[in-house]
Structure 1
């Protein structure tokens, strides 16, 4: 079933409520990524990134959304203005109850961030800035896909701030998100690198 377009929801509702409103407007027990992309209209990239990143803050859920997040990041990095999901990804879905739970769990933190968000044109609202956001998102997706203790949260949180700035065309908040994302990715890369080195050392000792 085709998703119902939500008239001006992205312009009138706080970001922290958009997830719940979209979940309420889309029919069915499960909501597909394709339905969400259509419902979000011209803010599909930012809002899809936000929805795919929120599970990165919860244990055991991040890797499930890593591949579609990687695809969206690469598309943004290449300069696409509208996301193009292949059918196999467009059909991937999330339970309505899980989506609402994510929105509820994150609403307090998002409300705090929203107080500082407003449309502010700048470098990160331009084409080059959006490409940088895309490639950083792709790197975050790789960090979410790779297993590692504590490596999901820091990059995902920074990327969420980036996504919020992208949705509201706020270059300043997006810049904060870029800084947080880079720091989170450095941390995750170091942890994964250390784990890889320890694993190789253990294998060499065994043989």
Structure 2
């Protein structure tokens, strides 16, 4: 079992390099989601949260997406090295050429982001930090899922910041996201307490 308070010695690769490598692997007719997930490793958490970002601000739909976010956070909290999905989904065949085009476009977007977000504060790669991030993501997902008008916007914004921090393992961004998360949940708790008390 890996020590949870010690960061791995190997330095983090840039996400854009990982995406380019994955695109180059799409040489056949098809590629499975499992192969993509294996290539992304723990970056699957950041990618999944970014994909869900748009759904987290849509009324009613956010209830369902919030529960998925909470499930993602739970997996990170319990130390899963990558996002778990059912075998049926993982073994689904995808058209390699389309996947390659999508990865190429995504890598270009990530290269732009990497001017501002990059691997920093190596100590934050210690598993204990992921456990904390998982707890934060789980709580934000629960808040998003609650049927409270407009209460999902703040948590959804924090999740995007958290996703970018996890994608690049930028410790500065992860700490900022956690701070924003505590602040927003505090505001929502205060508003609910005042509303119920009144």
Higher RCO structure, 1 or 2 (CA under 8 Å, sep 6+): 2
Match of 1:27 in 2: none
Q: Distance in 2 between matches of 1:36 and 1:150?
A: 38
TM-score (norm 2): 0.64
1:142 corresponds in structure 2 to: 142
Deviation at 1:62, TM superposition (A): 1.6
CA RMSD of aligned residues (A): 4.1
Count of matched residue pairs: 165
The alpha carbon displacement at 1:193 in A equals 3.6
| 1:148 CA displacement | 0.9
Q: 1:71 to 1:122 in 2, by over 3 A?
A: same
1:39–1:61 Cα change, 3 Å: farther
* Aligned twin of 2:50: 50
Return 5+ residue gaps in structure 2 as ranges. 1-12, 24-32, 91-101, 103-108
Partner residue, 1:77: 77
Residue 153 (structure 2) pairs with residue 153 (structure 1): yes
- Which of the pair is proportionally richer in helix? 1
Superposed counterparts of 1:81-160, under 5 Å: 81-86=81-86, 115-160=115-160
* Distance change in 2, residues 1:36/1:153 (3 Å): farther
TM-score, scaled to structure 1: 0.62
Counterpart Cα distance in 2 of 1:45 and 1:81: 9
Query: Would you say the 8 A contact 1:143–1:189 is kept in 2?
Result: no
Q: In structure 1, list runs of 5 or more residues that go unmatched.
A: 1-7, 15-20, 22-33, 91-99, 101-106, 202-207
Deviation of residue 59 (structure 1)? 3.9
Q: Give the Cα separation in 2 of the matches to 1:161 and 1:150.
A: 19
Structure-2 change in CA distance of 1:170 and 1:61 (3 Å): same
